[in-house]
Structure 1
Amino acid sequence: MEPKWLAWAKQLQAIAQAGLAYSKDVYDLERFEEIRKLSTEIMSEYTGVEQTVIRELFANETGYATPKVDVRAVVFHEGKLLMVQEATDGKWALPGGWGDIGLTPGEVAVKEVQEEAGLVVKASKLLGVLDKKCHPHPPSPYHVYKFFIQCEIVGGEQKTGIETKDIGFYAQEDCPALSIGRITASQIEWLFTEYQRPSAFARFD
């Protein structure tokens, strides 16, 4: 579970963002700007990151605040799970990334596998939609829903992309060091269970 201070900071940011988008009164706009500043100060105090950086990352959006969407492709082959080594931290995750405007979640999953692993896949099943704050990920400035979409290989060949350093298929007991901002050990365990005993229903929490 995410720390209380982070939940409060994100809630304050969401209130401020909506207020700045829809309020007309100049005094209300000033108050909402103060709330946004307070949320930035909280984040800076607990993370040690300068307020200017946090404002660009954490308090730069407009309109009604909604969760971001992270799409992850789940690709099994002969009982092993496709994973990619991230160029940013050298650790491993499922192919995936932020949802793209104009693409369905399934199309994002297909695109990410081809870009990060060189394989052509087709999306076949939604396995789950997980709220990142309910899982043991590191604290995140954004509220994130994670879509896990099962895909089947139909072509292509393994090759790295701009964002990946290596590619491999791994058994559960052989999984490499995880990029836990993207995937956790408990989520890997769930995906192998789903592969061995598929459920009729998508998981959500």
Structure 2
Amino acid sequence: MPISRRLTLLAFAATLATLAGCATTSTNVSPVAAYRDTIDLNGRLSVNYQKDGKVESLTGNFDWNQRPGHVDVELASPLGQTLATIAVTPQAATLTQAGRAPVTASDIDALTQRTLGWPLPVSGLRDWLQGYAVDARGQRFAASPANNSVTTGDGWRLRFVEWQDANAAQPRPRVIHAERAAAGDIQDLAIRIVVNPAAN
């Protein structure tokens, strides 16, 4: 083969390799939208777990209002009846159930397990609802459609299953699956979170 033709073919192959590399990069780089300290979200929850040898299931709706240093959560039945409200600050968390006196504790996750019977991971949801987490090595994790699963430092296995718009430059989570093998006397805990499109 003439040297000039060989060089032409090599240059062509190099160009293809470069283009292939660019294509691979573009399909994998789709970082989650930037984290916001102020968000208002709502959606649906479904929870399944085992306790004392029995399988328990429940579904409901949630409203999530987050501001710097403060989170308010309302849990409601599928028909819209308020079941519990949660207020979290850096100092303490307070959970109020319908017809009961408010209960306050320093650890919101332990508080929800004690009062609701299962742990609602409010501390983690601050990140998860926006596609972020802290992994088992203590590193900040930012999800994307191409990198959608992580195990957190406190043992939750997360999968960001669906996105509000997977083709957006910076998508936001729509469906999140959170699983944990054990949490106190709870086994095989699985929470499915469906986030409605954000209003802001």
TM bucket normalised to smaller: under 0.3
State the TM-score, normalized to the length of structure 2.
Answer: 0.27
State the TM-score, normalized to the length of structure 1.
Answer: 0.26
Instruction: Report the structure number with the largest CA radius of gyration.
Output: 2
Which structure shows the higher strand fraction?
Answer: 2
